[in-house]
Amino acid sequence: MPTFFEKKQLVTPGELLAEGDYMPGENTYKEENRIYAQRVGLVDAENKRVNVVALRAFYVPKMGDIVIGQVTEVGFNGWTIDIKAPYSAMLRASDVLSRPFKPQNDELSQVLNTGDLIVAKIASYDRAHDPQLTVGEPGLGKITRGQIMRVTPTKVPRVIGKKGSMISTIKQETGCQIILGVNGVILVTGKTPADEDLAMMAIQKIEAESHTSGLTDRIAQLLKEEKSKMEEKKDE
């Protein structure tokens, strides 16, 4: 029962990873008794389970995920939301208004209009139906301030870091509030646009270098350097 890779090795789709008594994990598949990779990524084995951490993938909706989306269409009894997934999501008017909803009385575009950004949770999704969203929880709803950026969805865990180490470093150093959509859309809200730019720069660096080690320390150092530069400018 051999394996054909070293830990954290970069593999391409179709590469043979293991033979024999192994289980296919994320981004791998099994044919006869051989395990192959499905995507470009880094391999790892854990208790006979072979996983590939994908370097390139798209977001697939999952129930309970917090996502950030944009209103693309105002319909009769709800909105169509682009959540940067292969499927567009629906948000029902009754969910937002939290009272009985009559199309004659309410003008939906006054609540949310095309182009508006929202933070929402995926209420339901399966193969046969497009995802349904909900905003009926604290922290969810229309975004009124801050800046939006996108990263590859597979890199969101990397932006969070081990037990949230990376994200808390950025929050501390920049004083920004950061909401991470599992779909790879990130909302950064800070006191000044300069703070937001700094946080966004750090996140961009994480995305570009996500498959390297010692990243948290390098990001912390970068943020400190940039901050001192900003303060020098203020003093002048």
Partner 1 sequence: MNDKPEKLIDKKGIRLDGRKADELRPLKLQVGVLPNADGSAYIEHGKNKILVGVFGPREMHPKHLSLSDRMVIRCRYHMAPFSVQERKSPAPSRREVELSKVIRESLEPSVFVDLYPRTGIDVFVEVLQADGGTRCAAITAASLAIADAGVPLRDLVVACAAGKVDDSVVLDLYDLEDKVGVADVPVAYMPNLNAVTLLQMDGVLSPEEFETAVNMAVEGCKKIYLLQKEALKTRYMTVKEEVEE
Binding mask 189-208 for partner 1 (x = CB under 8 A): -------------------x
Binding mask 82-111 for partner 1 (x = CB under 8 A): ----xxx-----------------------
- Round the CA-based radius of gyration of the chain to a whole number and report it: 21
Q: Applying CB under 8 A, what is the total number of residues that bind partner 1?
A: 30
Span 8-67, contacts to partner 1 by CB under 8 A: 10, 12-16, 27, 29, 31, 36, 38-40, 54-58, 60
C-alpha span between 164 and 82 (Å, rounded): 27
The DSSP secondary-structure symbol of 57 reads -
Q: How far is the CB of 108 from partner 1 (least distance, A)?
A: 22
Query: In DSSP terms, which residues pair with 35 in a beta bridge?
Result: 18, 30
Closest CA to 105 of 77, 72, 80: 77
Q: How far is the CB of 20 from partner 1 (least distance, A)?
A: 17
If phi > 0 it is left, if psi is from -120 to 50 it is alpha, else beta; for residue 107 that is: beta
Torsion sign, CA atoms 175, 176, 181, 185? negative
Binding footprint of partner 1 on the chain (CB under 8 A): 10, 12-16, 27, 29, 31, 36, 38-40, 54-58, 60, 86-88, 127-128, 152, 154, 208-209, 211-212
